[in-house]
Structure 1
Amino acid sequence: MANARSARNSLVAALFVASGATALVYEVVWSRLLTTSVFGSTSQAISTVLAAFMAGLALGAYLLPPRADAMARPLRLYAVLEAGIGAYALAFPLLVQAVLWVYLLFATGRDPNAFLSILRFALAFSVLLVPSTMMGATLPALVRHAARSSSSVGRQTGIFYAANTAGAVAGTLLAAFVLIRTLGVTTTLVVTGLANFVIAGIAWRLGSDPVDEGADPEAAATDQPGHSSRLARAAMGAFAVSGFCALAYEVLWTRILVFFLGSTTYAFATMLAAFLTGIAAGSAAASRWVERVKRPAALLGAAQVSIGISAAVLLPLFSEVYTVVRAIGVGGRVTVFLVCALFMLLPTFLMGASFPLTARITAGRTGRVASTLGGVYALNTIGAIAGSLAAGFLIAPSLGIRNGILAVAAVNVLAGVAVLNAQSDARPWEAWLPLAVGGATVVFAFALVPRTQFFVKSAIYQEQYTRAGLEAEVLSYEENADASVTVIRDPEGEKRLYVDTNEAANESRWDAPSHRVIAHVPLLLHADPKRALVVGFGMGRTSNSIAQHGVHIDAAEISPGVPRAARRYFSEPNNGILDSPLFRLHINDGRNFILTTRNRYDMISTGIIHPLVSSGSSSIYSRDFYEMCRDVLTDDGVMSQWVPLHRVPLAEFKTILRTFLAVFPNTTVWYKYTPDFLILAGTAKPQTIDFRDWIARAQAPSVDADLGKDDLDAWSLLDSYFMGPQAVERFVGDGPLHTDDRPVLEFFGANLGGMMTTQVENIQAMAPYRESVFPLLHSFAGSTERDYVQSTLARYFDATEKLIEGQALLAAGGYGEAVSLYRRAGQINPDDPTIRYHIQQTDDLMISEVDAGILATERELKERLRSNPNDTDALMNLGLVYRNANRLEEAIHQFERGLGVEPEMVELHVVLGETHLRNGDADAAIASFTTAGELAPDQVIIQGSLAAIYQQAGRIPEAMDAAREVLRIDPSNALGYSTLGALYMSEGNLAEAVEHYDRALSLNPEPYVARVAWYEVGLARVRQERYAEAGEAFGAALKVDPTFGEARAALLEVQRLRDQQAAE
């Protein structure tokens, strides 16, 4: 009989595992539906939904258990509750639409205020009341079924609470990693609702027999007398406080872990799972021994004090996450997750153990098991509601994360001391010792952890500064309800703005185009823009650029700390836009603002927000969001979307473009500014560009000056057009869309490798689809202007091709190859300021890397020379280091020191000669190379260098002798013949020159030799007035190098001469 009952209870516990899983899936899905579709994703909105959900749990735990106490078959009540939850889940999407209708009735046209906060709670409470109330009643019903005496309540409570929490862990991970990703939100809701019906059916079947009210043989031996009412009240109060503290810790710890793990879906789900795992383990462990404990109140009090102490100790530990990870020796995000979970294990374990201990203390005073337990559970849930709301709205904004956690830890300690003090047999030290230890720990943690500790120890700060041996100055650190806002000054003196760990903006030239181009392109595409909306204010550059067009601006910014930081630290780059009469700021979630606005906009621009920043940031890339934007655009309105090229794999990159195109079929892509981002411009009508209007408005003084800050002008910006809708459609092909129901972009971060490699992949994948902007242009003054514009844009187009190739190489770290392509682009189109910027920027990058390498190498070589002053290799290498740094006199000194040790070292004579030449001393260079040639008479490079130096010095006979020496050593040396050809040309001996160039070309030389040889042959033929042959030679030079500008110009001149000759 006992074995059958035990087996049945095990099966019931398994059902409760499944029930816990479905409950957490519902919490995730329902919260997502209400915040994404209706209320917005501010912390206030999310906390309101969570509070309404938990209020229903508390109500169910308090109201329904008396029926369970009176029922002979409480498991049948549990089955009815599960079936009701499932039915409600299936109807939930329709209820959300009803809530949306009511919310819009009152919220449309209003900024967030107290009334709307109350309305949100009322609506969320009304729609979540029924299912969450039923969920809250399930635990008391099951414990009433299983606990056959008051002494076994603690054990059964622990078992079922642990089972339900373990299910919650599974539901959290399933929702985040599997269900929403593979099924989508709506299908997940349906599948989970059907699971509830399965649970209900099994429970109904198991609940056919009435509860046996007889004594439990095992329990009879362990029944304990009831505890005093004072102690029971203290235990219930402490458990309510425990609920408050647990949710406050969860909110505040999550805010800390954002600095180390980011705020992605994976990060939050994993941390919540770790939190719940600790609670489940604690509850399961306590259920095994709770009935045998003689002083459960002492353990409950000690647990609460220990939770507070461990939470305080965790503060300095959290800031050393990466120190621990490095000590383990296994890097990666999984290791960081595990370390953080390990840190939280002790306090969460003790939280879980507190429930069965409280149940043991309180339920011993009455036979109404379900009612008493329901009251305890309700109090804990009410405390949790208060903790969640207080942490988000009061503690974090007013005290900050560090002080907030310490304050909550102090409350935990005081609650534990109250329980210890309420014991009738309490020893005097049981109250004052925990109080002293807890207080000392809180004070110690406060002194040890500065306010900015978590930011300066964060993943992004470690990556950008600490590991590079750099340090930045923290100018401002503000903790809001939604995020932490930090402003730093980097080692180059530029200020940077961070929202949590996302670098939202900075003062650098590299970052600036992202913020300005998303304003200028769509406004110039619109014929007459009047009003614009910016989603995400950042440092204010985008809004300022819009203002240069005389357009009125609404800006929706979710975090109030961002505009405060912008006003204080970025008023110069944003030109004081916050005080402009054209500008109006709205502290609100962008989606919610668009949902509730009455305005219509000529342009909407989303902020510089990467889809990886947080679990909510990808929502501004969804089809649903674009449809909302489309609905508030004017008929000619333009939607502007910034799209990152970095940290977005090609498949997801195409998904972003494909989703945008699905809502805005007339989409154009704009790209060339930096290899970091592109702009999508979407309209309802096909896009055309009034050329004269574009030029006139882009060259207006205020707009032209703003473009000039990013090395752009009217022509360069026009040339940044990349492809039109048909090309975009071919590029993206078929594939998934990112929607609120199927948020595919939330789930790619876990498999992402490097940050830069996706730039290369995305740029190279797009490149074949690039198109000219010219077919979109109209309104020319006449055919002459039309032809001029077409030829000018063709030149820009060809040059930008080289620029884009170089950008891909730059993203891959190929600075030398990139600058070579940039220079070729500059030769094709010297008028493009964007190309000039890229050349300078890449030169600077190369110089900075070289400088860093020079310092390290110089230190190493000098250390070698201290050990051995006659180390000729070290002397030569140190000289080369100085030469590369253009410290030529120091280089010459090191080479001469080396020759003093080893005078017959050919390599030293060669590098010394090269350095003399760079230093402008041709005679000294000739002397060094002559000595090298005597020591190594059969080295082509030495004689070739001598020939070049003699030629440069105008000593033609000696140059010819050296060139002939090259051919003596290597009769098939094309460069030798080419050099002789050049020397004969300089003397006017055209026949000999052409003969030697022909010999060079017959040897299939390197392209750099061939292009010059063909070009020089062409010049010789021109001087001989053999224009047809000259044209062939210049054409051959262009075939070798299509970017050879001099050859192209010479070919055009030859054509003119031939036409002139024919006319004569």
Structure 2
Amino acid sequence: MNIAANKQKQIILLLSFLSGLSVLVYEIVWQRYLQLIFGSSVYAISTVLACFMVGFALGSWLIGKWTDKTTSSMKVFIYLEIGIGIFGFLSPFLFSQLMELHTLLFQHLEVSQPTKHIIRIVLSFIIIIFPAILMGGTLPPLVKIYHEKKQQIGKDAANVYAINTLGGVIGAFLTGFFLIHIFGLQKTIFLASLSDIVVAVIAFLLYKKGLVQNSPMKKTVKNVKKKQKSIYPKQVISLVLMVYAISGFSSLSFEVYWTKILTLFFRDSIYDFTIVLSGFLTGIVIGSYICGKFIKKMRNPIFIFASLMIVNGLITLLCLFFIHQLPYLTNYLQSMNALYDKYGDSYWIMSIVIKYGYSFLVMLLPTSLFGAIFPIVSQICVKNQQEIGGKIGYIQTLNTLGSTLGSLLSGFVFISFIGIHQSMILTSILIFSIGLALFVYTPWKSNKLKTYVIAISIIGIILVISIVPAWDKLRMSTSFLEPNQEIEKALDLHYYHEDAFGITSVVEFTPWDQKYLVTNRIYTQNTSDLMGLEDHRRLGHIPLLLMENPNDVLIIGLGAGITTSGVSEHNVDSIDVVEISEGVKNAAKYFSEENKDILNDANINFIIEDGRNYLSTTQKKYDVIISDIIFPMSSGSSSMFSKEYYDFAKKRLSNNGMMVQWLPIHQMSMEEIKIITRTFQTVYPSTSIWYGMLGDSVPVVGLFGQKEKLQINIRMIEQKFSDPDLIRNLEEIGLGNPYFLLENFIMEGHSVNQFTKNQPINTDEYPILEFSNPKLYGDLGRQNLKTFERLREDITPYIKE
């Protein structure tokens, strides 16, 4: 005996919620796995997302058609959940095998960067396509089971879609804030896999007991004499579907734009990406749910659809007015110290609340309008009970394919070629235009009134575009300025560049006559403030002075090129510099005086690539590898301080080679420094710690790893100091004689072991730093320098004559 219809619907919605939750867990964790395999290249990450969405599209289409041909949609859903759960359980092993294959391929293939991207697309497609198809196929059978003949398909589709997306919101939030942090990547995947198996078991039990079912397809077909025809012409339905596909393109484009902008004004951490993603999905949930409530009253759904697109085109433009105020509103969000001063011990919770508030102000209304579209299109296009699965699948396929193009073109083409501001304006115009085109085909009782509405809409968008403020490149790319500070009295903008990696700029602080390289509004380690103990040339000189006869040097991270210029002042055979962003390399040209024009140095080889990815695939050996300053706050940066990263570097060292990791200790707690050092030690048992740069603003210490116990050849060092040209450069940065160099020594051996005792290890599986670092506040640089000064040991035992 069947349970009540409303109870049946509640069960279906619960299954939909849990299914949507696990999908977002998989998507986030698998993206991180593939990011680790392919490096933290934005192109690799977007390739993963595109492959995921293509799988969703295929699943919606193929499984939607299969749903209509089977006698039970519930059986289809059970099979899908079992398949997803099994693949999820196996996926960590599959990704580890993919990592080995990727490394093997690029160690033996000398190919161009575009060819590498193509190969990565193929590899991503192979590993992701099957589970993505299964995931994309879950919505059509759920909608078909949930739907009742006497009710409208739009309302039912809205309810299932909203609850499924709400599961995604919760899944994204839990994964970004808690699951990976607590359980690590693999166990988080296992939890999602277990969830899918549980969902399949629940669905199976309900099916076996006959508690949840839909009418068998074969029997239904026999009793149906004539299919219900659509009330709309075929041409109009085609136009509706085309507009829906373009709406998918537009929505994902705006997700890319809003993510880049909002994380730009937050702190670019894993929490910030989670906030923006869950905020975006929340709008989809609200829009779909509200639309489902009112869809019965819609006498002309095509008119509503067209109107929503027109209004959304205007609203996304109007959101630019708020976005232009972000430099004046959010500067304090990038400083935990400012938040702590304002909110005390509640600073972290308040930062999350405020960021969600700003995200909703930018995204909630337009994403709600995007979310309202799916149930309306379902109501327009699906008229036959027998073809619900296929139609819903087809509708989602078109939208998902549009979304795939939107995510790729917006990040890699539009932003890079015309900038994020113009990209948003053009995408808003696109939304408005396709809505207007659909509106033209909408029947009205009065053509005259229809003409007036069209004219007023066109005039309205022209007016809005004309008053949208110009993009303030200086304020948008830097956080130097106070809200009311006059620009011309503070900063000059020398260089500005937007691409898939974000915004890079070079600004000069005119009162001090200093230039700064800024990436994504974060002041980097590079400045033209040369001479003295905070000169970045020290980070290149110290390892080279301690190393006997280094020939080949690798530097991970170019920045403004000042560390590289320090290395170039030594007599080495080759210097390879790996920098992920072409924009940063171009920005380094504006520091040609400070970096001694290294970009035109024929002996230096510049490689545009992710540093970790390069280490994992190159076969070249190096005498010295310098991992320059990387801020651990940013999402994904924890992988550049992981055991696996140091293992890759060790394999690339020559027999007597040295690995150097510079740490910006003003951006780290002492606990985090200990964790990184402990992680470094697991790969380099002979680890010593040295000062790199001293000062209150940007103090730096370095971890030096070698295969053999530290032995300092004082005679070799004295010989290097006999070079008058080198001495002249070293005197400028406080290294004028060998003993000034040795004064930078802090500890080695047993002292380092005691320093890191009982500390956990930062791994790809457990990215500890990524979750702890964004929460830090206080005068960390000064505190850490004082701690290291207390820990310093005598260097004499390590000196050999």
The one-character-per-residue Cα deviations of 1:710-765 (angstroms, maximum 9, x if unpaired) are: 222232111111111211111122121111100000011343223xx222332333
Closer, same or farther: CA 401–12 of 1 in aligned 2, 3 Å: same
Q: 2:39, 2:723 → 1: CA distance?
A: 39
* Bigger shift: residues 500-509 or 482-491: 500-509
Q: Is the 8 A contact 1:259 1:454 kept in 2?
A: no
Q: What does residue 881 of structure 1 align with?
A: none
Q: 2:82, 2:39 → 1: CA distance?
A: 30
Q: What does residue 493 of structure 2 align with?
A: 474
Task: Please give the secondary structure, in 1, of the residue aligned with 2:666.
Answer: coil
The one-character-per-residue Cα deviations of 1:364-410 (angstroms, maximum 9, x if unpaired) are: 26741110110110111000100010011100100101001111111
Q: Of the candidates 680, 685, 688, which is equivalent to residue 668 of structure 1?
A: 688
Q: What does residue 413 of structure 2 align with?
A: 394
Task: Please give the secondary structure, in 2, of the residue aligned with 1:312.
Answer: helix
- Per-residue deviation at 1:92? 1.0
Q: What does residue 102 of structure 1 align with?
A: 101
1:748 matched to 2:747: no
1:23 matched to 2:23: yes
Q: What does residue 643 of structure 1 align with?
A: 663
Q: 1:160, 1:626 → 2: CA distance?
A: 46
Aligned partner letter, 2:709 = P
Q: What does residue 156 of structure 1 align with?
A: 156
Q: What does residue 179 of structure 2 align with?
A: 179
The one-character-per-residue Cα deviations of 1:186-232 (angstroms, maximum 9, x if unpaired) are: 111111111110011111222343413799xxxxxxx9953222221
Q: What does residue 211 of structure 1 align with?
A: 214
Q: What does residue 786 of structure 2 align with?
A: 764
- Per-residue deviation at 1:430? 4.3
Q: 1:163, 1:288 → 2: CA distance?
A: 14
1:34 matched to 2:29: no
- Per-residue deviation at 1:647? 2.9
Q: What does residue 518 of structure 2 align with?
A: 498
Q: What does residue 351 of structure 2 align with?
A: 333
Q: Of the candidates 611, 619, 624, which is equivalent to residue 632 of structure 2?
A: 611
Q: How does 1:132-151 map to 2 (within 5 A)?
A: 132-149=132-149
Q: For the aligned residues, what is the CA RMSD?
A: 2.5
Task: Please give the secondary structure, in 2, of the residue aligned with 1:678.
Answer: strand
The one-character-per-residue Cα deviations of 1:149-168 (angstroms, maximum 9, x if unpaired) are: 38521111111111111111
Q: 2:404, 2:638 → 1: CA distance?
A: 28
Closer, same or farther: CA 226–550 of 1 in aligned 2, 3 Å: farther
1:240 matched to 2:245: yes
Q: Is the 8 A contact 1:261 1:333 kept in 2?
A: no
Aligned partner letter, 1:644 = P
Q: 1:76, 1:702 → 2: CA distance?
A: 79
Task: Please give the secondary structure, in 2, of the residue aligned with 1:41.
Answer: coil
Q: What does residue 76 of structure 2 align with?
A: 77
- Per-residue deviation at 1:422? 2.2
* Bigger shift: residues 514-523 or 741-750: 514-523
Q: What does residue 358 of structure 1 align with?
A: 377
Listed as ranges, the gaps of 5+ residues in structure 2 are: 221-227, 334-341
1:537 matched to 2:555: no
- Per-residue deviation at 1:42? 1.3
Q: Of the candidates 717, 722, 733, which is equivalent to residue 710 of structure 1?
A: 733
Closer, same or farther: CA 326–84 of 1 in aligned 2, 3 Å: closer
Q: How does 1:220-259 map to 2 (within 5 A)?
A: 226-259=231-264
Relative contact order higher in (CA < 8 Å, ≥ 6 apart): 2
Q: How does 1:54-453 map to 2 (within 5 A)?
A: 54-108=53-107, 110=110, 112-149=112-149, 152-208=152-208, 209=210, 210-212=213-215, 226-321=231-326, 323=328, 333-334=351-352, 335-364=354-383, 367-425=386-444, 427-445=450-468, 448-452=469-473
* Bigger shift: residues 114-123 or 370-379: 114-123
Q: What does residue 587 of structure 2 align with?
A: 565
Q: 1:464, 1:600 → 2: CA distance?
A: 50
Q: 2:164, 2:311 → 1: CA distance?
A: 24
* Bigger shift: residues 701-710 or 649-658: 701-710
Q: How does 1:830-841 map to 2 (within 5 A)?
A: none
- Per-residue deviation at 1:519? 1.8
* Bigger shift: residues 550-559 or 202-211: 202-211
Aligned partner letter, 2:514 = E
Aligned partner letter, 1:616 = G
Task: Please give the secondary structure, in 1, of the residue aligned with 2:235.
Answer: helix
Aligned partner letter, 2:38 = F
Task: Please give the secondary structure, in 1, of the residue aligned with 2:152.
Answer: helix
- Per-residue deviation at 1:690? 1.0
Closer, same or farther: CA 257–327 of 1 in aligned 2, 3 Å: closer
Task: Please give the secondary structure, in 2, of the residue aligned with 1:523.
Answer: helix
Q: Is the 8 A contact 2:265 2:331 kept in 1?
A: no
Q: 2:111, 2:466 → 1: CA distance?
A: 41
Listed as ranges, the gaps of 5+ residues in structure 1 are: 216-222, 780-1064
1:553 matched to 2:575: yes
Task: Please give the secondary structure, in 1, of the residue aligned with 2:506.
Answer: strand
Q: How does 1:950-969 map to 2 (within 5 A)?
A: none
**Greater C-alpha Rg:** 1
- Per-residue deviation at 1:510? 7.8
- Per-residue deviation at 1:107? 2.2
1:728 matched to 2:755: no
Q: How does 1:666-705 map to 2 (within 5 A)?
A: 666-671=686-691, 673-675=694-696, 676-705=699-728
Q: What does residue 869 of structure 1 align with?
A: none
Closer, same or farther: CA 79–439 of 1 in aligned 2, 3 Å: farther
Q: Is the 8 A contact 2:530 2:594 kept in 1?
A: no
Aligned partner letter, 1:167 = G
Task: Please give the secondary structure, in 1, of the residue aligned with 2:137.
Answer: helix
Q: What does residue 584 of structure 1 align with?
A: 605
Q: Is the 8 A contact 2:416 2:498 kept in 1?
A: yes
Aligned partner letter, 1:543 = T
Q: 1:364, 1:529 → 2: CA distance?
A: 75
Q: 1:512, 1:10 → 2: CA distance?
A: 66
Q: What does residue 339 of structure 2 align with?
A: none
Closer, same or farther: CA 464–601 of 1 in aligned 2, 3 Å: farther
Q: 2:17, 2:183 → 1: CA distance?
A: 22
Q: What does residue 225 of structure 2 align with?
A: none
- Per-residue deviation at 1:470? 6.2
Q: What does residue 521 of structure 1 align with?
A: 542
Q: 1:678, 1:174 → 2: CA distance?
A: 35
Closer, same or farther: CA 453–544 of 1 in aligned 2, 3 Å: closer
Q: Is the 8 A contact 1:673 1:720 kept in 2?
A: no
The one-character-per-residue Cα deviations of 1:522-545 (angstroms, maximum 9, x if unpaired) are: 222221111111111101111111
Q: Is the 8 A contact 1:309 1:442 kept in 2?
A: no
- Per-residue deviation at 1:24? 0.7
Q: 1:265, 1:19 → 2: CA distance?
A: 23
Task: Please give the secondary structure, in 2, of the residue aligned with 1:64.
Answer: helix
Q: How does 1:960-979 map to 2 (within 5 A)?
A: none
Q: Is the 8 A contact 2:632 2:773 kept in 1?
A: no
Aligned partner letter, 2:540 = A
Q: Which protein has the bigger helix share?
A: 1
Closer, same or farther: CA 420–207 of 1 in aligned 2, 3 Å: farther
The one-character-per-residue Cα deviations of 1:471-524 (angstroms, maximum 9, x if unpaired) are: 211122110221211111103111110111222211114897463222222222
Q: 1:130, 1:759 → 2: CA distance?
A: 49
Q: Is the 8 A contact 1:8 1:206 kept in 2?
A: no
Q: How does 1:593-992 map to 2 (within 5 A)?
A: 593-612=614-633, 614-671=634-691, 673-675=694-696, 676-714=699-737, 715-754=739-778, 757-779=779-801
Closer, same or farther: CA 511–533 of 1 in aligned 2, 3 Å: farther
Q: 2:309, 2:163 → 1: CA distance?
A: 22
Task: Please give the secondary structure, in 1, of the residue aligned with 2:51.
Answer: helix
Aligned partner letter, 2:84 = I
Task: Please give the secondary structure, in 2, of the residue aligned with 1:740.
Answer: coil
When normalised by structure 1's length, the TM-score is: 0.69
Q: 1:110, 1:302 → 2: CA distance?
A: 53
- Per-residue deviation at 1:233? 1.3
